[in-house]
Amino acid sequence: MMEQAQCAAEVYVERTLALIKPDAIENANEIEEIILRSGFTILQRRKVVLSPELCSDIYAAHYGKMFFPSLTAFMSSGPTVAMIIARHQAVAYWRELIGPADSVKAKETHPGSLRALYGTDELRNAVHGSETTSAAEREIRFIFPDATADPIPSGQDAVTYLSKFVNPTLLSGLSELCKRKPTDPITWLASWLIANNPNKPKIREDLIKEPENL
């Protein structure tokens, strides 16, 4: 159990921005299910209509290109679902999942990608994904200005935290669970952890006063 916790903690977790564009908004629920099945966690989600100015900020890297005006006009033409998603190597895995920018080419080369499944062409290609971790953090701040940028605990910091604050109580609970073998182990373990929480406030007996007789 300890080795599994350490291996899991050593996996680096990062976050990225995912946008479901106006052309795919009707398929948002299906796309979100695929995101979750692909190992991502949706940290934050909001439905928003992006202003042309905000679209220009998000796609600043493409400023000056011929398609830039059409891109910003399209992205501000209707509602967009914006999400902060996280997992190991989130930026790379999300870019792989969405596929090539041109949905027509994606249907040939990456038929299982989101752009192949839900996109139409290079402009109306269903979803957006940040290209780098620095771009992801910049784009997240545009749409989720209140989102915290604190790193998700990983590596040795996570191992130390789990070893000190979680594993001793959890291992005791799992040992007791194996002895009892309850019919609903998840509920039983949850109740046991609550009852045996070492951080639960303790009330001093000498401070408890008996109610006075009226």
DSSP state of 180: H
Burial of 90 (0-12, 13-18, 19+ CB in 10 A): buried
Confidence (pTM): 0.66
| Domains of the chain and any CATH numbers | 11-143 (3.30.70.141), 155-200 (1.20.890)
Please report which confidence band the pLDDT of residue 204 belongs to, taking 50, 70 and 90 as the band edges. Answer: very low
Q: For the residues 48-71, what does the mean pLDDT come to? A: 92
pLDDT digits (tens, 9 = 90+) for 136-167: 999 999 999 887 655 555 555 556 666 777 88
Average pLDDT of the chain is: 85
* Active-site pick, 62, 88, 110, 128: 128
SS3 content of the chain, % helix, strand, coil (to 5): 55, 15, 35
Is 62 considered catalytic here? no
